[in-house]
Each structure stands twice: as structure tokens, then as C-alpha cells.
Amino acid sequence: MFNTETNARTTGQKVGWKLSLWRAILSTALGERLVYRGDFALGTLMRFLPIVTQIFLWYAIFDSIEATRGGNLETTEIRGFHFTDIVAYYLLTMVARAFSSMPGLASGIAREIRDGEIKRYLIQPIDLISFLLLTRIAHKLAYYAIAILPFALVFFLCRNYFASGWPSWHVLVAFAGSLVMGFLIGFFLEAAIGMIGFWFLEVSSLLFVYMLFSFFLSGHMFPLTMLPDNVAAFVNFLPLKYLAYFPAAIFLGKIPEDELPMELAIEACWLTFFIIVCRIAYSRGVQRYSGFGG
Amino acid sequence: MQQESGSDRKKYWKVFLTFARNSLVRDMTFRTNFVLQCVSSLGWTLMNVGFYLIIFQYTTSIGADSGWDRDKFFLFIATTWFINSLVQAFFMPNAEEFSELIRTGGLDFALLKPIDTQFLISFRRVDWSALSNFAAGLIIALVALYSLATRQNDPMTPSILSIVLYIFFVGCGVAIMYSLMICLSATSIWLGRNQTLYNFWFYITNFSRYPMEIYDRGWGRPLYGFFTFIIPVLLVVNIPARILARPISPQTSEDQLLIAWGIAATLLSLWISRWVFKRALLSYRSASS
């Protein structure tokens, strides 16, 4: 009886301790972000500048398609994308990337392994992956708290590019779900890459190759449907599309509504896969790891 | 500016060669790293070429009646690649180091040297791996020229004159980019640090990557004017690419005016950047003791 009582108390304490830990991490990350809020909001706004070039580039492309084939801007399309859709697509991939991009995650893990800093997670009662995930969530929340202003401004200015207006509410729910899962896939995928540092000390070149592929194949550069058919079939199978293309395609209604549950389920499978890979890589890596010095 | 007598020029050239050799020795010390840098920038090139190839699956040109069909547009891309790789090889590492020199006070040593400070700051390091993109640009240009010369409708081979002019204006483009970069990095004397230098650079030069005609409509006109006359980044790639990709003889007067403005803009931006750099040096207060 005595035993269970202490158990119950420790569980209660554990939850309390966890909550206070989370709060501490969250408030630190928020504090860090808010110090440079002006600079940061401006920087976020600047990030939309390349889209200006894209708008003009795609207008010129649609313009010449019109000129050769006839028709007007509303009827001309490339693989189901009208001109306004493409602009909206680029804007939406910015949102998707705001969720799924993980700057410095993989390189940070690899550095901690190399420098031996990873030791502190082995001796302290903190799990590395959960800690990193929490910090990331905190950083992202702080990021959205400030970035929402420039994002809202740009989307308001560009509202005419969203020709079909707001999608129905279940599309919006699917969109939100794909964003959250995109964040998690991005996190576990990059964390798993960082874990490669247990085996190879230098992962920066590997990381660069990954970044290159993810930029091209996530749909950040152009809608993936524009790829030649045989390539598109293969790329559609890869999980990289969840980082940018997939949420944007959902919002724009490019994925039929009756296929949404299935597509989201497949995404959830990929997410589970990456969680498992990340966990296995970590436990195997820790077994291999030997830390020297203080 | 110091007196540019013949022996002086020879001395500066010698100093530059020494810098270039030192950087090459340094790069060759970490050979694997060098190869990886080359490979990764070539990967970036391939990705861009892939993107434009995909675009030309769906369209025959960029902009209706603009004349930028696939082969000519790839000549444009090659020009962008030449200019960017030259800037990245010769000036980018120096501009990055410059703000570091200011922050640490290392600029004192540069000021003490018996050589023009701007020269010393601008040419200290050469990033040889960036020249791999120059080679990539050369391949793109050769393939595009070959395809342009052998195609069925409207084949074209550029004349010797246009090639000479092309090389000259690529040089002008590099000079404009260099001036812009010096101005940007000189601001770090006033601001103390300049971490956003690279971002800013990226966002501005982003506009230079496409034919200027595409901005010439609606709300793009202010941008078109701004980036042609105030910060002339649109001229950088456009003028040489137009000279190479379009026949020279039936030039419109507008084209000729643009070329004349290109030369004027190059001289002006070099002069302004020199002035900004000197002004900035005057407000330099050493950070070290």
C-alpha cells in the first residue's frame, strides 16, 4: 500500500515537473524570439520578395502559352494550375515550409555528438528527442506569434490570387492536419539525419545533398504535378512532398475531397515510420557512442 | 585614387596573383572539401536547369513575342551563371570577411598597408570552387548555342562582334554587382554588423535572374524603373544576354539606348561605390585596443 502511494505521488510530481519543464522551455524560446521582434518581422516580410519575381515569371509563361494556343488568362492552365493558382501555391508553400522547415536541427544534433555534448542527455533525466521536439515546438509557436502579422499582410494583399476563395471546412481541417504532420515529419526526418552523426562525424555535405533534394522534390520550387509523368509517379511516392507540396495542394483543392482521408492516412504512416527510424537510430547510436573527457 | 602609372599597375597585378595563389593553396589543402563544394554548387545548377526544362515543356517562350525561347533563355541562364560565379569567386568571400574585419578591428591592419584599401579588401580571397559554376555556365551556353545554330526554324549564330561585346558587358555586369556589394558591405561600418548582407544580396539579385521584359507591365513598372535606373541590377544580365541572343544589326534605338545606359551605369556605380567606401572608412573607429 505504501508503495503504490509513493508511486502515485511520484507520478503526480512527474507530471507537474514535466509541465513546469515545458513551461520553462516555452517561455525561454518565446523570450528569445521577442527580443528581436522588429528585425524578425521585417525579415519575414523580406522572405516573400522572391515570390514577386515568381509572379512575373509565371505571368510571362502563361502569357506566351495564351499567345500560341489562344484563350485568356482564366482558361490557360498547366496541369490543372491556372496562373492565380500558381501564385497562391507559392504563398501556401511558404506556410507549409514555415511548419516543416527545421533550420539547424540535423546539424545541431551532429555537432552535439561530435563535441560530446550529447552526454548530458545520457546522464540527465531528459530524453534527447523529446527535449528537442519541445524546444522546436516552442520556437515554432514563438515564430508564428510574430510571423502571423507579415503573413497576414501578404495574404491580404494577394487575396485576389485565391480565385476560388476559402475552401470548405473539412478541407481546412485536412489542411491543418497536413501542416501539423508536415511539422512532425520534418522534425523526425531531420533528427534521423542528424543521428547519422553517430556513425559519420561529418554530416554537413550529406545534409546539403538532402536540402537540395528536398528543395526540388518537396514542391518548393514548382508544383510537383508539372514533373514528367513517370518522374511524378515516383516523386509522389516519396515523403518529401509532405514538406511543401501536399498542404498547398490540399488547400487549393488539387486533391479530390474523397481521397483526402486516405492521403492523410498515408502521411500518418510515413510519420510513424520516421518516428520509429529516429528512435532506433538514437538507441543504436547511443550504444555505439563513447564520450571522452569532461 | 592612387596614381595609376604602369609600374603601379604591375605591382597591383602581382599582389592580386599572390592573393589568388594563396587562396588556391589554401583550397587545395582541404581537397575533399573543395570537391564537395564544387559538387554541391553543380547540384544546385542541375536543379535550376531541371526547373527551366520543365517550364519549357509547357511553353515555347518566356513572355509572348519577347523572343526568349528555350535556347535563347538558356543563353540568358548561362550569362547569369557566368556573372554570379565570377562575383562569388572573387568578391563574395571578401565582402563577408570585410564585415568581420570591422567587427574585430582587423581593418586597422588593412588601413596600414601601403596599398589601396579598397583593392586590398576586395581581392584578398578567391573562392576557386565557385568557378565550377562558371564551367557549368560554359556547358549550358555551348549546348544552347549549338542548339540555336542547328535548329530548324530561325537558326542563328552570333557574330564575332557580338561575342566580343558580350564578354565586355559580362565584365560590366560583374562591375555593377561588385559595386553593389561594396556599398552593402560598407554599410557594416555604420551598422557595426551585417549579418543580413547575404540575404539582402540574394533578394536584390533575385530580380536580375529573368529577362527584364517580364517586369514591364502593371505594378511591375515601378520595379522595372527602380532596378534599371536606381539600383541597375536588371542591366547586369540582360544587356549581355540580349547582345548574344539577338541579332545585332536590326537593333532598335531603344536597345542602343539601353546599351549606352549600361556603360554609363557601370561607370556610375563604380564611382558611387568608391565614394561610399571612402565615406564609410572615414567613420571607422577601430574596435581593437
pLDDT of A183-241, one tens digit each?
999 999 999 999 998 888 778 878 888 888 888 899 999 999 999 988 888 999 999 99
Residues 6+ apart with CB under 8 A from B275: none
Residues A117-143, mean pLDDT to the nearest whole number: 84
Question: Could you identify the residue written with the cell 569567386?
Answer: B89
Q: Which of A57, A221, A222 sits opposite B210 (nearest CB)?
A: A57
**Longest CA span, chain A:** 85
Q: Which residue has the higher pLDDT, B108 or B137?
A: B137
Which pLDDT belongs to residue B41?
87
By C-alpha distance, the chain A residue nearest B66 is A64
Which pLDDT belongs to residue B289?
46
Per-residue model confidence as pLDDT tens digits over A89-111: 999 999 999 999 998 899 999 98
Lowest mean pLDDT among A208-212, A289-293, B164-168: A289-293
Domain that holds residue A243: 58-128+147-288
Question: In a 3-state reduction of DSSP, which class is residue B288?
Answer: coil
A276 falls within a domain:
yes
Question: Which of the 8 DSSP states describes residue A273?
Answer: H
A212·B206 Cβ contact <8 A: no
Burial of A253 (C-beta count, 10 Å sphere; 0-12/13-18/19+)? middle
Q: Which residue has the higher pLDDT, A50 or A4?
A: A50
A192 falls within a domain:
yes
The mean pLDDT value of chain B amounts to 86
Which chain A residues touch B220 with a CB distance below 8 Å? 56
B241 falls within a domain:
yes
Alpha-carbon gap: B72 to the closest alpha carbon of chain A (Å): 15
Q: By the CB < 8 Å criterion, does A202 face chain B?
A: no
B47 falls within a domain:
yes
pLDDT tier for residue A12 given thresholds of 50, 70 and 90? confident
Question: Could you identify the residue written with the cell 539601353?
Answer: B258
Size of interface A-B (CB pairs under 8 A): 81
Which pLDDT belongs to residue B2?
46
B288 falls within a domain:
no
B289 falls within a domain:
no
- Cα–Cα distance measured from residue B270 to residue B240, given in angstroms and rounded to the nearest whole number: 18
pLDDT for residue A118 is more than 80: yes
The mean pLDDT value of chain A amounts to 86
pLDDT for residue A8 is more than 80: no
pLDDT tier for residue B4 given thresholds of 50, 70 and 90? low
- Picking from B38, B59, B198 by the largest number of A CB atoms within 10 A of its own CB, the best residue to mutate is B59
A43·B60 Cβ contact <8 A: no
Which chain A residues touch B213 with a CB distance below 8 Å? 60
Q: Which of B134, B198, B196, B144 is nearest to B170 (CA)?
A: B134
Which pLDDT belongs to residue A180?
96
Say what the ipTM of the complex is.
0.87
B28 falls within a domain:
yes
* Residue B61, φ and ψ in degrees, nearest 5: -155, 165
Which chain B residues touch A212 with a CB distance below 8 Å? 40, 43-44, 47
Q: By the CB < 8 Å criterion, does B12 face chain A?
A: no
| Beta carbons of B236 and B83 less than 8 angstroms apart | yes
Q: By the CB < 8 Å criterion, does B43 face chain A?
A: yes
Burial of B91 (C-beta count, 10 Å sphere; 0-12/13-18/19+)? buried
Residue A191 CB: number of other CB atoms within 10 A? 26
| Beta carbons of B176 and B184 less than 8 angstroms apart | no
DSSP A178-206: HHHHHHHHHHHHHHHHHHGGGT-S--HHH
By C-alpha distance, the chain B residue nearest A81 is B58
B51·A68 Cβ contact <8 A: no
Which pLDDT belongs to residue A9?
58
B287 falls within a domain:
no
Q: Which of A109-113, A172-176, A228-232, B207-211 has the highest mean pLDDT?
A: A172-176
Question: In a 3-state reduction of DSSP, which class is residue B68?
Answer: coil
Q: Which residue has the higher pLDDT, B248 or A81?
A: A81
pTM: 0.87
Partner A, chain B 61-120, Cβ-Cβ below 8 Å: 61-66
Domain that holds residue B25: 6-282
Lowest mean pLDDT among A31-35, A55-59, B52-56, B116-120: A31-35
By C-alpha distance, the chain B residue nearest A70 is B64
pLDDT for residue A149 is more than 90: no
Structural domains in chain B (count): 1
Which pLDDT belongs to residue B196?
64
Lowest mean pLDDT among A60-64, A128-132, B66-70, B196-200: B196-200
Question: In a 3-state reduction of DSSP, which class is residue A164?
Answer: coil
| Beta carbons of B77 and B109 less than 8 angstroms apart | no
Which pLDDT belongs to residue B116?
87
Per-residue model confidence as pLDDT tens digits over A16-29: 887 887 788 777 77
Which chain A residues touch B55 with a CB distance below 8 Å? 61, 222
Q: By the CB < 8 Å criterion, does B222 face chain A?
A: no
Which pLDDT belongs to residue A183?
96
Which pLDDT belongs to residue A2?
44
By C-alpha distance, the chain B residue nearest A216 is B47
Residues B257-283, mean pLDDT to the nearest whole number: 91
Which chain A residues touch B43 with a CB distance below 8 Å? 209, 212
Q: How far apart are the first and last CA of chain A?
A: 43
Structural domains in chain A (count): 1
| Beta carbons of A260 and A174 less than 8 angstroms apart | yes
Q: By the CB < 8 Å criterion, does A222 face chain B?
A: yes
Alpha-carbon gap: B206 to the closest alpha carbon of chain A (Å): 7
B58·A226 Cβ contact <8 A: yes
pLDDT for residue B1 is more than 50: no
- Above pLDDT 90, what percent of chain B? 40
Which pLDDT belongs to residue A1?
41
Q: Which residue has the higher pLDDT, A284 or B1?
A: A284
Which pLDDT belongs to residue A68?
83
Q: By the CB < 8 Å criterion, does A57 face chain B?
A: yes
A56·B62 Cβ contact <8 A: no
Which chain A residues touch B65 with a CB distance below 8 Å? 64, 67
Lowest mean pLDDT among B162-166, B215-219, B250-254: B250-254
pLDDT for residue A5 is more than 60: no
pLDDT for residue B53 is more than 90: yes
Q: By the CB < 8 Å criterion, does B1 face chain A?
A: no
pLDDT for residue B189 is more than 80: no
